[in-house]
Amino acid sequence: MKGHRTQEAPKLLGITWPFIAVVVFQVALGSLSLYTLSAVRAYVAGESLWSKAQKDAIYYLNLYADTRDEDTYQRYRQAIIVPQGDHRVRKVLDRPDPDLQAAREAVLQGGNHLDDVERIIWFYRHFRGISYMQTAVNYWDMGDDYLAKLDVLAGEMHQRFANGPVAEATVEAWKGRIAIINEGVTPAAKAFSDALGEGSRVLLRVLLITNLVTALILITIAWRRSSKLLAQRQAFASALQEEKERAQITLQAIGDAVITTDVEGCIGYMNPAAEQLTHWQAAQALGLPLSALFTLVDEHDMDEGRSLVDQVLSGSLKGGAEHARLIQRLDGSTVSINLVGSSIVNEGQVSGIVLVLHDMTQERQYIANLSWQATHDALTGLANRREFEYRLEQALNALARQPGRHSLMFLDLDQFKLVNDTCGHAAGDELLRHICAVLQSGLREGDTLARLGGDEFGVLLENCPPEQAERIAEQLRQMVQSLHFVWKGRPFVTTVSVGLVHIAQAPGTLETSLRAADMACYMAKEKGRNRVQVYHADDSELSIRFGEMA
């Protein structure tokens, strides 16, 4: 008996070693691929830090020229230290015998995460000569040259300010030099980002193809080797087939809840994901019927667990297709799942079933978020242009079926660019949020307010008489004008130009309506801004302007 078992071991190893080799080799290749992609991700993150730091440095140095504030200069120093650290990394690693400790310190000085330090150094040393990386580094060098000039200018400014008053003409000359440096470094930064992004995409494709080709070759070798061995060992065919089916089922269940039962529906196994999904511990659930764990909400049979087992045994839940279900746990909570069931066959006899349950909660939430993002503006939470045009088109189609009166408004903030140019986009974004709140408070329930882009808004007043629409438009204009907006102690006067179009029983097309509202808004700005311009088809001035625009 012992001799028989001794002979079994090399036979089993002879069958399995090709698969072990495939797994080991594929894991090694996959680990190398993941490490390389992780290094690319670290480089992309580092590029973002470098780009942000150079923008911050230019901004704070320009602000320092205006304010002479030492704190502002220190902020500039904090910003410029990031690209200087990245520059040190490159110079150290380009040496024939690089000082790796100095390179690590420079990587950390560049603001990179501690976990990314070794990946960044490894990737640079091994991929420095690749064309995409070479191109990115060349643009990187170009950007660093501009930033070096910027730092020289910063030192000069700081020294001159420390020595005493500086003439305004000198300050303006400094700001001009800062602007020239900014104009040079910005294209270099963008080209650096583009080259690095293209390189990462090419590398991803190369790694993917390499993994696929390698996997196919290894699988082919393992398959041929296994086929030869299996032909000599027919006695093990049944046992191997059973183990193969179990392995396949287990692999399909990874990451999802897996429950196995006997033919009567009594639970034999639950994986940790099933415990989390059902709120039952496997040790407590063993031997219980499926109905003790959960019930199908859409089932009317009193014996839901048995009914589910019957469905699996009949083959209705078998195959690659997933079946959506809503289950209710014993605590009353419900969860949406995708369900796959299959029979377990042993020597031609059905010995039980296996259920694979995939929790769809996150997927459904993700789909809902995507749906919301597709129809709403991320900054303000309002409907976006696409959603606004859809609702307007629906309103126009409704007029074709049933008489009614709607009104369409285009609103364009006056001198909004002044806020962005003087205080930055953060101030502009905050002003837009305030404007949205003001406009929303002046509308009726059911009216549609949308951000069409930039500082342009659209309003759809459904079933609104013209007189009331004009009162609402004037009220919105006054509310915007009355808005008291202050950014960092600086007040701004806000006004809006409004173009109003009345849509009656015989509506035009969507394009015609939008063009009319846009034209009316344009005329409101032409006539001095901060006013409401009502569109009339017979308005000669509008017709002339409409013709000029066409």
Q: For the full predicted model, state whether its pTM sits above 0.75.
A: no
Q: How far apart are the first and last CA of the chain?
A: 97
Which contiguous run of DSSP H or E holds residue 61? helix 2-67
d(CA 410, CA 303): 60
pLDDT, mean of residues 129-136? 67
- Asked if pLDDT for residue 10 goes beyond 60, the answer is no
* Residue whose C-alpha is closest to residue 439's, from 461, 416, 467, 465: 461
Most confident of 91-95, 136-140, 318-322, 382-386: 382-386
- Of residues 254 and 439, more confidently modeled: 439
pLDDT tier, 546 (very low <50, low <70, confident <90, very high otherwise): low
Give pLDDT, residue 541: 67
Q: What is the pLDDT of residues 146-190, one digit of tens each?
A: 777 778 878 888 888 888 887 888 888 888 888 888 777 777 667
- Of residues 493 and 541, more confidently modeled: 493
Position 130, amino acid: I
What is the average pLDDT value for the chain, to the nearest integer? 77
Which contiguous run of DSSP H or E holds residue 399? helix 385-401
Q: Which CATH number fits domain 376-549: 3.30.1200.10, 3.40.50.1110, 2.70.50.60, 3.30.70.270?
A: 3.30.70.270
Cβ-proximal residues to 47 (8 Å cutoff; 6+ apart), any chain:
192, 193, 196
Q: What is the pLDDT of residues 399-408, one digit of tens each?
A: 878 888 889 9
Please say whether the beta carbons of 360 and 326 come within 8 A. no
pLDDT tier, 192 (very low <50, low <70, confident <90, very high otherwise): low
pLDDT, mean of residues 103-112? 72
Concatenated DSSP letters of 150-196: HHHHHHHHHHHHHHS---HHHHHHHHHHHHHHHHHHHHHHHHHHHHH
**What would the two tokens of residue 430 be?**
């905050």
Catalytic-residue membership of 69? no
pLDDT tier, 2 (very low <50, low <70, confident <90, very high otherwise): very low
Scan for tokens 């660019």, then name that residue: 417
Give pLDDT, residue 5: 44
- Asked if pLDDT for residue 425 goes beyond 70, the answer is yes
- Asked if pLDDT for residue 292 goes beyond 80, the answer is no
d(CA 402, CA 391): 16
Q: What is the pLDDT of residues 194-212, one digit of tens each?
A: 766 666 677 677 777 887 8
Distances in Å between the Cα of 309 and the Cα atoms of 342, 437, 519 are 10, 55, 67
d(CA 36, CA 197): 14
Which one is catalytic: 455, 518, 538, 539? 455
Q: Can you name the CATH fold of 239-364?
A: Beta-Lactamase (3.30.450)
pLDDT tier, 318 (very low <50, low <70, confident <90, very high otherwise): low
